[in-house]
Structure 1
Amino acid sequence: MIKDEMFNNSMSKNKLNPVRAGFQRRKARLTAVTIALAFLVLVLCLGMLYMGNTRYSLKEVIRVLLGEQIKGATFAIGTLRLPRMLSGLLAGMAFGMAGNTFQTMLRNPLASPDIIGVTSGSSLAAVFCIIVMKVSGNLVSLAAVITGLAVAFLVYMLSKRGSFSGGRLILIGIGIQAMLNAAISFLLLRANQYDVPAALRWLSGSLNGMQMKAVPGLLLAVLFFGCLLVLLGRQLKILELGEPSAITLGLRTERIRLVMVLSAVFLIAYATAVTGPIAFVAFLAGPIAGRLIGAGSANVLPAGLTGAAMVLLADLTGQFAFDIRFPVGIITGILGAPYLLYLLIRMNKTGGAA
């Protein structure tokens, strides 16, 4: 009897060992990728502070960041480059975490805020404020955030009729996005020619002219809602299994989904209000991070770091790789459009499977 028990225990341990080993491998890979992405983002941040018409040494950059006054360097780094770098870093993290949350929760790579209308709602509000109301600054940001939240609420409620459906949400979001983009085009056509360049510059997604006063609000949004999404990463992976499985595992799907949607939408809306709709960052960051860390791990934080790296790298490329300086949204759009076409072709071949 005792021998039988010992035999059964040893068999159970042998079965668990591969599971534990797989878990440890996934955890180690997640940690390694996250550290590598953080290091890449740090290097790009230093590159943003270093690169410019006048290049300063790393020692001078650090001295300025520590508060020392250096003629020329203090203005160039502290007033021009630092706000630009911080805005790109925080906006990229916001876009990456929010896009990954939508895609994972709805189990569809097309379920990005770029695609389902949230970004277009914020853009319409900003264009309306710039062209019709002739205002700028904080009022534009506030209107963009409120409208982005309102559009997300409308899409969510329309898709929730009967029972929640991710596919229905995506289709409704695409329809609303088309309507909002048409409204933006109408406003641009009817606008005074002197107001159009400012609106188009904002719509392209740009870090030009960033000021430090825009950073604290974006930082608070990323810290609060980003940390909330990171803490809910395990629940997000459970939701990826589907509604019936999540309920069976004891997850309060309605409550968790509502918190995640609100957090992701607020991140997208606030980041869009600050930098404009930087194209395809929310769409690409999650899939890239997922490929890097592999299946089975929560990738909210890696997606945020990937989004930050994309924005910073695209801005450096747009500033210094060509004779003409391009806004960051143009560069990310060039990268994202081919991936969207590839994804649509792949889904068509596989009968709609992502």
Structure 2
Amino acid sequence: MDFGRRVLVLRHRRISVRLERRSVVVCAVLALAAAGMAVLALMTGSYQLSPGQVVSALTGGETGLVHDIVVEWRLPRVAAALVFGAALGVSGAVFQSMLRNPLADPGIIGFSQGSYTGALIVILVVNGTYMQLVGGALLGGMATAVAVYVLAHRGGVQGFRLIVVGIGLSAMLDSLNTWLILQADLEVAMAAAAWGAGSLNGVSWDQVVLGGACITVLLLLAGMLSRPMRQLELGDDAAASQGVRASPVRLGLIVVGVALTATVTAASGPIAFISLLAPQIARRLTRTAGITLAPAAFVGALLCLAADYIAQHIAPTPLPVGIITIMLGGGYLGWLLFTEARK
């Protein structure tokens, strides 16, 4: 007789954590796969390296040219792909769980485009620093979230209505972004357009450290909200009966999800479809009843790193990572729209 899924229970004084064994195993396998992919990315390039040289450079055993290639040139890009991919995976998991719809991706419902608009204004007007870009992207994403929520609110907010409104607003913001680029100087416009495709080419250690610190704080906040988030999947009434205050929790989830997307967008531009794919792949791997954050983070990190590797080393010419994620996610989005419409 099966009384439920096997879980690991960790207790320390008054703190107790329950982890599903399958989710732990899946996360461990994904972490190993991401580590192997990272070593492969650090090895590959115009100057080929061996796995031993890469490991030695990471542990301080190499100096000179090999150390510079691994630590200074290639590692920031690999670290950014892992950290930013994890952030996008969690952001998608938050919105898909909150709206109870697999189409609830920040890029589809307009939040990524709003963040891109805010960051683009900062680039074109003040040529701001990374933290200024984060602020502009966050303001743009939050303003878009408020607009979508208000326009979709009619006696309450239904997930599918919010998604349809978000798709329309996303198209409007995309046109606005194109107009802003056309009005800018040629050099600035070309740089903004290339950045808008979603690229890790210009990522430095400063952006990885600052962005990673912001993302770490936001992931901790998302983890604190994960339990009431899962209870909200049962509906507001059922969650309220268990002591969950739906409105504050939902507001906190929106802020965390938009902030994760904005932090990534400010550093690398909008990287599409990672937020859509990662939670659903993680759900199928773990076979959980709902969306879980940790597996989505690991899948997002692996997807982003693999897409960047394909863009740089397998494509005929080096491409922005956003081009590859669009190619991978476009087919899945079409299939998802078809199946949801049939329901």
TM-score by length of 1: 0.87
Deviation at 1:24?
Answer: 4.5
Deviation at 1:128?
Answer: 2.6
Hey, what does 2:262 align to over in structure 1?
Answer: 269
> 2 CA distance for matches of 1:228 and 1:135?
27
Hey, what does 2:35 align to over in structure 1?
Answer: 42
Hey, what does 2:327 align to over in structure 1?
Answer: 334
Hey, what does 2:53 align to over in structure 1?
Answer: 60
Paired residues of 1:236 and 1:298 also in contact (CA < 8 A): no
> 1 CA distance for matches of 2:32 and 2:118?
36
Deviation at 1:175?
Answer: 2.5
Once the two structures are superposed, residues 109-162 of structure 1 have per-residue CA deviations (whole angstroms, 9 ceiling, x without a partner) of 111101111110111123233344445644333322222233223333444564
Hey, what does 1:346 align to over in structure 2?
Answer: 339
Paired residues of 2:26 and 2:285 also in contact (CA < 8 A): yes
Structural RMSD (CA): 2.2
Paired residues of 2:279 and 2:291 also in contact (CA < 8 A): no
The correspondence of residues 133-212 of structure 1 with structure 2, limited to 5 A, is: 133-135=126-128, 137-160=130-153, 162-212=155-205
> 2 CA distance for matches of 1:346 and 1:247?
31
> 1 CA distance for matches of 2:252 and 2:154?
19
The answer to whether residue 64 in structure 2 is matched with residue 71 in structure 1 is: yes
Paired residues of 1:315 and 1:327 also in contact (CA < 8 A): yes
**AA paired with 1:56?**
L
Deviation at 1:173?
Answer: 2.0
Paired residues of 2:108 and 2:166 also in contact (CA < 8 A): yes
Q: How many residues align?
A: 333
From 99, 120, 126, the counterpart of 1:127:
120
Q: Which runs of 5+ in 1 are unaligned?
A: 1-16
Hey, what does 2:13 align to over in structure 1?
Answer: none
The answer to whether residue 102 in structure 2 is matched with residue 118 in structure 1 is: no
Moved more, 35-44 or 68-77: 68-77
> 2 CA distance for matches of 1:233 and 1:240?
11
Hey, what does 2:11 align to over in structure 1?
Answer: none
> 2 CA distance for matches of 1:138 and 1:197?
22
**AA paired with 2:318?**
R
Deviation at 1:235?
Answer: 2.1
Hey, what does 1:32 align to over in structure 2?
Answer: 25
Once the two structures are superposed, residues 8-28 of structure 1 have per-residue CA deviations (whole angstroms, 9 ceiling, x without a partner) of xxxxxxxxx5224x3459922
> 2 CA distance for matches of 1:167 and 1:39?
36
Deviation at 1:321?
Answer: 0.7
> 2 CA distance for matches of 1:23 and 1:246?
24
**Structure 1 residues 165, 182: CA separation in 2 closer, same or farther (over 3 Å shift)?**
same
Paired residues of 1:99 and 1:283 also in contact (CA < 8 A): yes
**Structure 1 residues 24, 134: CA separation in 2 closer, same or farther (over 3 Å shift)?**
closer
Once the two structures are superposed, residues 43-80 of structure 1 have per-residue CA deviations (whole angstroms, 9 ceiling, x without a partner) of 11222222211122333323332345522112211211
Q: Which runs of 5+ in 2 are unaligned?
A: 9-18
Hey, what does 1:232 align to over in structure 2?
Answer: 225
**AA paired with 2:248?**
R
Moved more, 232-241 or 33-42: 232-241
Hey, what does 2:312 align to over in structure 1?
Answer: 319
> 1 CA distance for matches of 2:260 and 2:250?
15
Moved more, 112-121 or 290-299: 290-299
Paired residues of 2:311 and 2:320 also in contact (CA < 8 A): yes
Paired residues of 2:199 and 2:271 also in contact (CA < 8 A): yes
> 2 CA distance for matches of 1:261 and 1:130?
25
From 15, 18, 21, the counterpart of 2:2:
18
**AA paired with 1:19?**
F
> 2 CA distance for matches of 1:91 and 1:48?
16
**AA paired with 2:74?**
R
> 1 CA distance for matches of 2:221 and 2:182?
41
Runs of 4+ off more than 6 Å: none
**Structure 1 residues 236, 23: CA separation in 2 closer, same or farther (over 3 Å shift)?**
farther
**AA paired with 1:124?**
T
Hey, what does 1:11 align to over in structure 2?
Answer: none
